[in-house]
Amino acid sequence: MTVSRVLNNKGEISETTRTHVLNVMRDLGYRPNRIARSLATARTLKIGIVVPSISSAYFGSVLEGAERIFGDSGYHMLLCNTAQNTKREYAILELFEEDRVDGVIVLSSHMPQDELTLYLSKQRAAVVLNSDVEAGIAGHVMTNERNSMSLAVNHLLKSGRRHLGYVGHDVPSYAGRERQRSFVATVEEAGLSSCANRMISCDRRDGHMTARQLLERAPEIDGLVCFNDEIAAGALRACLDLGRRVPDDVAVIGYDDIFLAKLLTPSLTTLRLERTKQEVGALVARMLLERIEGSPTQDEVMINHELVVRESAP
C-alpha cells in the first residue's frame, strides 16, 4: 500500500499524495496498528525488563534512567516484577520470548548462572545488571563489590573501630554474595579477629529488628556495614532503641545513597556508585540498543563505588 510508504517516509512519493494521505488519516482519526506492523517486520520495539522489586528506591531510579533512553528511541518497556521469586523469573523470561521482545534487561537476578545463561541465550539481545551469566551471551554491567566493601571497612578501621559487623540481604544475588564475601575477606586481611558471629542477614524491610538482634547478640560491635540504605536506616533506629550513640558508640555505613540517606538523623554515610542510578539505567539501556542493532561496543562495564562520608560514620 502507498499508505505504508508515507507512514515510514520511505520510497519516493509525490508531495501531493503525501499530504493528501496525511489529511485523510487525520480526519479519520487513524492510528497505525503497531502489532500488525510487528508481525510483518519481526520487530516489536518492546524491551522486556525483569526486576526483583519495583518498589525499591534503587531499582526505581535505574528504571527511570533506562526508560528515558528507550522512550527517546521509540521503545517501550514491558516491566515485570519477580517479587524475589525465582520461579516467576523463569516464567517471565519465557513470556518475553513469546512476546518477541527486541531485547531483555535483567536487574539483579536471583537465578543461578547456568539457568540465566540458558534463558538469555534464547533472547534476541540481553543486558544484565549485577547478575551471573556466561560471557558473550549478554551485555554485563556490574558493580565492583570487592572495592566498595574495602572502602567501607577501611574507613571504619581508620576511625579506630575494631569490632565490625555486617547486616546482609537474605536473597541470593550477585551483590549480596559479593558484599558478604568481601566483608569477611577485608576484615581478615586487616588481621582482625573473626567476624563470623557479627554477621546476620534479613529482608530489606527488616533492618530495624535484625540489626537490633545483632547488636544485642554482639554488643562489642562498634562499626556496622549494611547491605543497603533501607537496612542501614533500620540499624540507626536500632542503635537509638538500645541507647548506642551513632557515631560515637557505633558507626553505620549503608549502600546506594538513596535520596533519603542524607536526610536521616544522623545523616547516613553510604557507598554511592560513581555514576548516578539514572545513568546506570541509561547505560544499560544504551548497551541493549547497541546489541539490538548488532554493533555492541562493549560487553562488560564495571562500576566503582565512592564513599559518601556523612554523620553516621565520619
Asked if 42 is part of the footprint of DNA (rule: CB under 7 A), the reply reads yes
Asked if 17 is part of the footprint of DNA (rule: CB under 7 A), the reply reads yes
Q: Quote the CA–CA distance of 195 and 162 in Å, as a whole number.
A: 10
Asked if 16 is part of the footprint of DNA (rule: CB under 7 A), the reply reads yes
In angstroms, give the least distance from the CB of 46 to DNA.
Answer: 15
User: Which range of residues in 36-44, 123-131, 168-176, 191-199 is near DNA by CB under 7 A?
Assistant: 36-44
User: Would you say 271 and 123 are in contact if contact means Cβ atoms under 8 Å apart?
Assistant: no
Q: Which is nearer to DNA, 13 or 118 (CB)?
A: 13
Asked if 54 is part of the footprint of its own copies (rule: CB under 8 A), the reply reads yes
Q: Pick from its own copies, DNA, none: which does 80 bind, CB < 5 to 8 A by kind?
A: its own copies
User: Would you say 140 and 128 are in contact if contact means Cβ atoms under 8 Å apart?
Assistant: yes
Q: Which is nearer to DNA, 41 or 297 (CB)?
A: 41
Q: Which is nearer to DNA, 43 or 245 (CB)?
A: 43
In angstroms, give the least distance from the CB of 94 to its own copies.
Answer: 7
Which three cell numbers mark 272? 554511592
In angstroms, give the least distance from the CB of 184 to its own copies.
Answer: 27
User: Which range of residues in 75-83, 147-155, 157-165, 219-227 is near its own copies by CB under 8 A?
Assistant: 75-83
Asked if 178 is part of the footprint of its own copies (rule: CB under 8 A), the reply reads no
Q: Pick from DNA, its own copies, none: which does 224 bind, CB < 5 to 8 A by kind?
A: none
Asked if 36 is part of the footprint of DNA (rule: CB under 7 A), the reply reads yes
Asked if 61 is part of the footprint of its own copies (rule: CB under 8 A), the reply reads yes
Q: Which is nearer to its own copies, 96 or 183 (CB)?
A: 96
The β-bridge relationship of strands 76-81 and 251-255 is: unpaired
Asked if 76 is part of the footprint of DNA (rule: CB under 7 A), the reply reads no
Interacting positions 16-35 with its own copies (CB under 8 A) = 29, 31-35
Asked if 259 is part of the footprint of its own copies (rule: CB under 8 A), the reply reads yes
Q: Pick the binder of its own copies from 208, 291, 305, 310 (CB under 8 A).
A: 208
Interacting positions 90-109 with its own copies (CB under 8 A) = 94-95, 97-100
Asked if 95 is part of the footprint of DNA (rule: CB under 7 A), the reply reads no
What is the SS3 assignment for the chain? CHHHHHHCCCCCCCHHHHHHHHHHHHHHCCCCCHHHHHHHHCCCCEEEEEECCCCCHHHHHHHHHHHHHHHHCCCEEEEEECCCCHHHHHHHHHHHHHCCCCEEEEECCCCCHHHHHHHHHCCCCEEEECCCCCCCCCEEEEECHHHHHHHHHHHHHHCCCCCEEEEEECCCCHHHHHHHHHHHHHHHHCCCCCCHHHEEEECCCCHHHHHHHHHHHCCCCCEEEECCHHHHHHHHHHHHHCCCCCCCCCEEEEECCCHHHHHCCCCCEEEEECCCHHHHHHHHHHHHHHHHCCCCCCCEEEECEEEECCCCCC
Q: Which is nearer to its own copies, 24 or 240 (CB)?
A: 240
CA dihedral 40, 42, 44, 49 (to 10 degrees): 160
Provide the binding-site residues for DNA, judged by CB under 7 A: 1-5, 7-8, 10-14, 16-18, 32-33, 36-37, 39-42
